[in-house]
Structure 1
């Protein structure tokens, strides 16, 4: 029988759950996220026949658009997909509607409730509603209050609310926002989204660990020497200067994306595969995590900011040269740090987190480096044996590889490292869904497995509180180091690793 990995079967690989009749209501529907991610993801679900015929999308924003204008705007955003699937768009677009709404105006919410009832009758969506807050973070709390005040979150079985990141700016604000949200809806109705968790390869961390007996017995401090988690981007701040100047890489990437990957990598096996069991274990890991130097946090973290770089033919501006950025900005576009997890499995194993903009390569990966053999019996071609590594590639080349030593050809017994790789595209013959496709489907299904629970959010913010306080109160202790665009970050980040006799992996 042919192997699934070597001879992928295109039929029957997906085992999808059926979404009930549904109306998804997008607040901030005139914004970039709706055009680039949300409606394209819903169209993809429709094309895959994972949306029922009884569905509707109601866009809401302050702009006085009509249903037809909203459909036209979405058609322009999806022009390439529509050219390939015109008939699918014709039927999908009939479920798109628009209602001008200001969440701060109570009469607008009354009108919205009436429009939803009309859509329920027209599209037979049976009162099942998912409210997506794609609005400025300052309106998350008031938006939930407005929906609850209008009675739109009263039924926990048929209504839910999806909240975009960032959920708070620090530990205190995350706690306050959680109190507001939980006063408006039950925790089971609240879906705090992190689009990284929608990636197949992030979910694959769980399968790699808990479905393979060759990995789980060695996934601990006895065999693993250190863990590196990297999220590198080649782009600069682009059009996000207004947001980025108030957040920086620590809030924008580390507190959510990298920390969620850390939790999945380090969590204990759940007692069963369900949402609460998995989220319980993730929360425990984050509650056990700490900065490597809690007494002197500036010694375990490096902040950087990209300066001008590139080439003479293709120069790249520095962060302070970008439109909308303060020319004296001290906002970090790069962060590297060292953490420990104080539990039985990971005691003493350093976790290194790194993210940055304008780096040489776009990639996200987890690298687990194993301890060296206790005795070096063989000479190595490179001077010393390379430690074994397991590399989980999250993007863009989704897959995994194992690095181990083999005998080099020729006389003598010299070893050299080789890689054994797995690729999603090569093995399954189809590209992975974009993260929002999976996450929107899960929200409409009421499955919170890949969403962040309130205690997870608060534990993540608590972990980085000492660094955030330093940036606010004593920034000279955690300065921003410049690094040239399209390099791997400031020298200070290399020194952070060199203190432990290590180097960052540079693919």
Structure 2
């Protein structure tokens, strides 16, 4: 694999929402800190007709809206790095002008596709035919990568026809979050956790990704996708793989991804009674009335906006440990967290003194705040004349407070840098994507076979009551 640092960036979908909110602000923040090559050029492309200056004005408005003022240092210098070339991705002739605009990089070119998957194939063909897919070119692909295993293979085959796997960077932006990387550090840099990280000591694991928003601007995409494809197939399965994987030999792209794919291939096929789907109806979020999904969509739909799953990993480490996953829109609060519930002590020496032990619990919060909390049993202050008192107390680490100085970064900042430098550790390999889709397709087939349709739930609640029962049947309560 040829190592090079890119000095040209080519951004497709440059006028889209992701570009405005995340991609351009991330690049500007990196540039303000001197983390981009001083000679780097960023060529933006989209269907909109504008020249370089018009795009720079567009970018300035985006940065003023979505990037904190203290992170915009030298914004004028960054804006001067931006160039624009209008392109209809389906027009083969347009790629000649795009290639001329990109020019000849001194070291290498990194391409970021933030476009609809239907445009991937003609885009790859246009790039290849116009000299933009050579050995010094990398390509990053933003999700969704298909709607099932078959369509994913079509996309991956199209990309692989022009780019080898070591130059393909499939993005799951959750992997760029600091706390997700801290999950790896927590497991493999601390002796106290790894000996306990198995079925003998862990009762169950919960993974929750909840959103307060509804459809917003994603009406067309979301109704064709649903919660299972939108969140479980990528973000949640990646979190599960990081929690469950074996220790890699080193923190390198190949070894980390080898271990993740082993977990994904060990997932047991879901039974009908191990999954619950839902769709929100009108309710209230933070005291404000919100419409139901069908009202927002403007028509009836059987697309799920909520899904809960009881998953099992059939391997030595995790046999018998359920992984409860749930995600939904219009939930009471926005949160992403992993809860590792340890088993209780095998024998309490304090029971004869009236004390009750509570199993330890590790909570890793990704959003809205990045925190790690471990509940420990401690003695309550007192002379114990009424009995020996125990209480669970939190040992909490707030990531922003624990490390004074570093700013809270946008996840795409790290991903941009890794793309530019060619580090694939935090990107998803093809066999991971396909293992994820294979499991997801089997769930959808189960839904169809058993005619499982979304149950309604009120916006502002934690989903259908059946999702609560899914866990409570095992004596488990969702962490809220």
Range into which the TM-score falls when normalised by the shorter chain? over 0.9
1:113 to 92, 96, 99: 99
State the SS of the aligned residue for 2:407. coil
- How big is the shift at 1:362? 1.2
1:137 to 95, 110, 117: 117
- Residue 262 (1) aligns with residue 240 (2): yes
- Residue 161 (1) aligns with residue 118 (2): no
Report the more deviating stretch, 405-414 or 128-137.
405-414
Distance 2:71 2:206 in 1: 42
1:357 to 312, 329, 332: 329
Which residue of structure 1 aligns with residue 84 of structure 2?
Answer: 98
Which residue of structure 2 aligns with residue 331 of structure 1?
Answer: 303
CA contact (8 A) 2:6 2:110 kept: no
State the SS of the aligned residue for 2:207. strand
Change (3 A) 1:273 1:255: same
Report the more deviating stretch, 244-253 or 168-177.
168-177
Which residue of structure 2 aligns with residue 413 of structure 1?
Answer: 388
CA contact (8 A) 1:305 1:483 kept: yes
CA contact (8 A) 2:307 2:326 kept: yes
Change (3 A) 1:379 1:87: closer
Which residue of structure 1 aligns with residue 398 of structure 2?
Answer: 423
- Residue 72 (1) aligns with residue 57 (2): yes
Report the more deviating stretch, 196-205 or 399-408.
399-408
Change (3 A) 1:91 1:258: same
How many residues are matched? 473
Distance 1:390 1:381 in 2: 27
State the SS of the aligned residue for 1:260. helix
Distance 1:85 1:331 in 2: 40
Distance 1:310 1:452 in 2: 37
Distance 2:309 2:424 in 1: 29
Which residue of structure 2 aligns with residue 457 of structure 1?
Answer: 433
Which residue of structure 2 aligns with residue 152 of structure 1?
Answer: 132
Which residue of structure 2 aligns with residue 320 of structure 1?
Answer: 294
- Residue 186 (1) aligns with residue 164 (2): yes
Change (3 A) 1:491 1:82: closer
CA contact (8 A) 2:96 2:130 kept: yes
- How big is the shift at 1:141? 2.5
- How big is the shift at 1:36? 1.0
Change (3 A) 1:111 1:380: farther
Question: TM-score, normalized by length of structure 1?
Answer: 0.89
State the SS of the aligned residue for 1:106. coil
Deviation per CA, 1:181-204: give whole Å up to 9, x if none.
Answer: 111110011111011100000011
- How big is the shift at 1:326? 4.4
- Residue 372 (1) aligns with residue 344 (2): yes
CA contact (8 A) 2:6 2:421 kept: no
- How big is the shift at 1:351? 0.5
Change (3 A) 1:373 1:83: closer
CA contact (8 A) 2:354 2:388 kept: no
Distance 1:277 1:101 in 2: 39
Deviation per CA, 1:41-78: give whole Å up to 9, x if none.
Answer: 10011011100111111111122110011001111111
Which residue of structure 2 aligns with residue 25 of structure 1?
Answer: 10
Change (3 A) 1:466 1:85: closer
Which residue of structure 2 aligns with residue 489 of structure 1?
Answer: 463
Distance 2:71 2:368 in 1: 25
2:151 to 173, 176, 189: 173
Distance 1:311 1:381 in 2: 45
Deviation per CA, 1:96-126: give whole Å up to 9, x if none.
Answer: 0000112222221111111211xx4xxxx41
CA contact (8 A) 1:382 1:416 kept: no
Distance 2:352 2:302 in 1: 45
Distance 1:85 1:138 in 2: 35
Unaligned runs of 5+ in 2: none
Distance 1:335 1:276 in 2: 32
CA contact (8 A) 2:140 2:419 kept: yes
Change (3 A) 1:252 1:383: farther
State the SS of the aligned residue for 1:358. coil
State the SS of the aligned residue for 1:437. helix
- Residue 252 (1) aligns with residue 230 (2): yes
Which residue of structure 2 aligns with residue 206 of structure 1?
Answer: 184
Change (3 A) 1:193 1:87: closer
Distance 1:343 1:435 in 2: 32
Which residue of structure 1 aligns with residue 360 of structure 2?
Answer: 388
Distance 1:41 1:502 in 2: 40
- How big is the shift at 1:418? 0.9
Distance 2:324 2:286 in 1: 34
Unaligned runs of 5+ in 1: 1-17
What value does the CA root-mean-square deviation take over the aligned residues? 2.1
Change (3 A) 1:299 1:86: closer
State the SS of the aligned residue for 2:268. strand
- Residue 479 (1) aligns with residue 457 (2): no
Change (3 A) 1:70 1:244: same
